Amino acid sequence: MKALIQRIKESKIVISGGTYSQTNAGLLIFLGIGETDSEIEIDYLIKKILNLRIFEDENNKMNLSVLDIKGDLMIVSQFTLYADTKKGNRPSFISAASPEKAKKMYNLFIEKINKSAHGMAVKSGVFAADMKVHLINDGPVTIFIDTDK
């Protein structure tokens, strides 16, 4: 499982010209699901993301987690995180999960992070929809997590 995490001031998902969901400050999580991923990777990734200390404390040091600041979470399905660009110019997505598996795992990730978020706002996009993602990066701070590494 792969996650590209961005610290944000705000985010918004637009589908078919209308706002589907939006958040205030917190994290935007682009989530890629691989063919071999399981619930074990979901649990690991949620714990890692929620406790990742990438927000500044009173001394301007990255020492606080999204849980500490009670930030919002936006989760967006992103199979292109599994792009293999080693050969040629057209990416291969052979390692990405099938749409059926990916949708099931994406929904399970959202369900589980909701339970772990201690009342923080958890929003998401729509699996496989054509979405326009608007965000204001904070920092910018962007972290990539791959559960296989």
* Residue 80 annotated in active site: yes
DSSP annotation string for 6-39: EEEEEEEEEETTEEEEEE-SEEEEEEE-BTT--H
Q: Is the pLDDT reported for residue 149 higher than 90?
A: no
Write down the pTM of the prediction.
0.96
Containing domain of residue 84, as a range? 2-146
DSSP 130: -
Are 26 and 49 in contact by the 8 Å Cβ rule? The answer is no
Average pLDDT, the chain: 97
Please give the Cα distance from 78 to 102 (Å, whole number): 10
Two structure tokens written together for 37: 């991923």
Domain of 125: which CATH number? Answer: 3.50.80.10
In the numeric block, the tokens 């690991």 are attached to 44
Domain count, the chain: 1
Confidence at 142, pLDDT banded by 50, 70, 90: very high
Torsion, Cα 22 68 76 45, to 10 degrees, reads: -170
Chain segment 2-37, per-residue pLDDT in tens: 999 999 999 999 999 999 999 999 999 999 999 999
> Considering 19, 23, 36, 80, which one is annotated as catalytic?
80
